[in-house]
A and B are shown apart, each in its own frame.
Chain A
Amino acid sequence: MITAWLQDLNALAGGLFLLALFGLVATRQVQGCLRLFVALSALLAASAFLLTAIYGVLDLAVVGTVDVVTKAFLIPRLLRRALHDEVFARREVTQVLNVPTALLGALGLAVAAYLLSQPLLRFTGGGAVASNLPVGIAGLLIGGLTAAVRREAVPLFLGLLAMENAAFFAGIGIAPGMPLLADVAIAFDVLILVFVVGVLTRAVQERTGTTEVGELILLREEGAR
């Protein structure tokens, strides 16, 4: 009975995770994107804590805690320290696709993710896997779409981080027994990545006066010389 409740709550976390992903596609304000990323990370942690109780695997509680500390707390601070405040106050006016079209694309990808996950779900009797795996695949696709349609460095990068979050969201559902060392090391890797991207974005800004990395087109094959 309690397990069924917990599974419903986990499915709710999955639904909200998907909703936050749609928000990431639709939000123009850089600051808003960062808040949505924090929300995504918090929902991932919530799912990890719920799965701790459902599967009875204590490792997942550690994964959830590490996730909150690194992604909801450290990463936003690292990004804010690395970049000027002005970057976060920006609104992206031009995107590769306009917002309604991008949202429509995201909707299509969510449906595709549901269909793609069906053959894999045959190996489970429903439960947490049935909600985490499709949402994870959808997040991977929608995060990729966000990264593809953004021109500003921070939202583009947050799209990529959302992809990693989504892979984890599926991962904790299908592989709760994954060695803890690996889970924690992955979080550490992401932290280093954020630091490096911060340094790089700052260098781009100092060099070109912009963080619209989508506008850098020096290296197109025909325009290179």
Chain B
Amino acid sequence: MSPLVLVTAIPLVAVLLSRLPLDRRLPFAVTLVAAAANLVLAVRLALRVVAEHEVVAIRDWVALDGLGATLLLLTTFVATTAALFSGGYVATHERELRRVCSYFTQFNLFVFALVLVPVLAEPALVWIAVEFTAVFSVLLVGFDRSQAALEAAWKYIALMFMGAAIALLGFFLLFWAQDLVGSGAPYSWSGLRAAAPAMPPTLTTAAFLLVLVGFGVKVGLVPMHTWLPDAHSQAPSPVCALLSGVKTTTALYAILRLGSLLPLAAMRSWMPAVGLLSVGVAAFLLLQVRDYKRLFAYSTVEHMGIIVTATGLGVTAGAHGAMLQMINHSLTKSFCFFAAGAALLAVGTREIAAVQGLIRTSPAAGAALLLGALAIGGAPPFAVFLSEFSIFRAGLGARQYVVTGLLVTFVTVAFFGILMHVNRMVFGRPATPVGHDERRLPVTCLMTLVLAAIPVVALGVYEPRWVDALVHLAAADLLPGAPP
């Protein structure tokens, strides 16, 4: 069996096995083993892509290039850490075997949909896969079954489907545009890229704008972001890590694929405007949040905006920065949600004002939260700092001074916003007795924090050669033929 097919088959097998109501630990074990196996497979696939530039299972239907391999790698890594975190989370929250099975079944279905997106090469099927990521995660968002969680889930699915319908018309228009060229090339990412220069710009731009608005809902671009903070405040923390770390990125991947078909001038006029709006609005909304999971949710909106802006610079250096930012966002934001989840387990409240002196009541959660805040805010020497810096440099190199200036300003505001809130939570005099809550953190949660922190810290000081090669390939897929 082709490894590309295997990578989607493994989560499906895990779905079936985690449904078996035999033992409370079985679904967790199955999910973790499946996710880890998929991670190994994804690394091997990424290495093959670096060597061969493309891995094909079924030509024009199932294939993986640099951009896809990057996303697949991120998805499988976050799925593994989220599966590990889920063990402790579910053990402390759920008593019923049926609910435990249901959680892990849906978790694996969600992961299945997420890995489906990068391996599919036919745009309409990618639409379906992206839609699956929403359909299979909605009951996880409302898993708590509280009124607030159900409300968040409703808002989530209603907006997701509304976006999907709008994007669907975009994909039909795209097919039409390619059909008009009459080259007879198949409807696939590579076929579209070959036909793109001859496609009518009006149709390509209309298709792109429909997908930008439609999938922009799923990415959380302003003003379609309203579901994001709600869903992230209500969903279980490991689900948040998947939602913020990879689900948003998955929808963004589809937008960026379409963006790469646009004429450069159209790309440079639309994408920085849309991206900057998200970065700016999120940076200021960050300042007024009262819930620390919402804080990180707004930070996701900000980061998605940064990636769109960087790609919209229309230069290879910008695309390279965007890819680095995408990788660092996924790794760091998932870590942030694990840290937030650990803090929630330790103190039992999501309110920023109610938490003080976390570093003393729960040193592990406090340290992780501080590390996460510094890393996601973009402090040196963490990986996000490097990618943001390379984007600023690309902006100046492309002589886009206004865009770069605004980006630097908003990113700085967001940095202070995040640190202001987290600083208040981590330091200060604790409200509860010291040393009381530490025992409550399950061992799988601590293991997740360590495992997820490794790339966050390591990629800031060292980038393995194959990762660098992969990022270069992905940037070339993102902006083929752009000026340096």
Q: Which residues of A pack against B, CB within 8 Å?
A: 119-120, 122-123, 136-137, 140, 143-144, 147, 153, 156-157, 160, 163-164, 166-168, 170-171, 174-175, 177-179, 181-183, 185-186, 189, 192-193, 196-197, 199-201, 203-204, 207-208, 213, 216-219, 221, 224-225
Contacts and interface: CB of A to CB of B under 8 A. Distances in A.
Interface in B15-61: none
Contact of A175 (B152, B158, B175, B230): B175
Given A193-B135, A196-B138, A219-B148, A182 B128 contact: yes
Interface string B261-284: 000000000000000000000000
Contacts of B154: 153, 200-201, 204, 213, 216
Q: Which applies to chain B's interface (DSSP): helix, strand, loop or mixed?
A: helix
Interface string B148-185: 10111111011001101110110011011001100000
B203 interface: yes
Contacts of B302: none
28 contacts: A120-B173, A120-B202, A122-B202, A137-B169, A140-B169, A143-B165, A163-B161, A164-B164, A166-B169, A167-B166, A174-B175, A175-B172, A175-B173, A175-B179, A178-B187, A179-B187, A186-B128, A189-B131, A193-B161, A196-B157, A197-B157, A200-B157, A204-B150, A207-B150, A208-B147, A219-B152, A219-B155, A219-B234
A156 B168 contact: no
Given A120-B202, A164-B165, A171 B172 contact: yes
B168 A167 contact: yes
Given A197-B157, A203-B142, A213-B154, A179 B122 contact: yes
Interface of B: 122, 124-125, 127-128, 131-132, 135, 138-139, 142, 145-148, 150-155, 157-158, 161-162, 164-166, 168-169, 172-173, 175-176, 179-180, 187, 200, 202-203, 206, 229-230, 233-234, 290-291, 351
B155 to A, nearest CB: 7
Given A189-B135, A200-B154, 19 more contacts: A120-B173, A123-B200, A123-B203, A156-B158, A171-B168, A174-B173, A174-B176, A175-B176, A178-B172, A189-B128, A189-B132, A200-B138, A200-B142, A200-B150, A200-B157, A213-B158, A216-B147, A217-B151, A218-B148
Given A120-B203, A143-B165, A186-B124, A167 B172 contact: yes
Contacts of A143: 165
Contact of A177 (B135, B145, B161, B175): B175
Contact of B162 (A119, A147, A170): A147
B139 A196 contact: yes
A164 B168 contact: yes
Contacts of A178: 124, 172, 175, 187
A137 B209 CA distance: 14
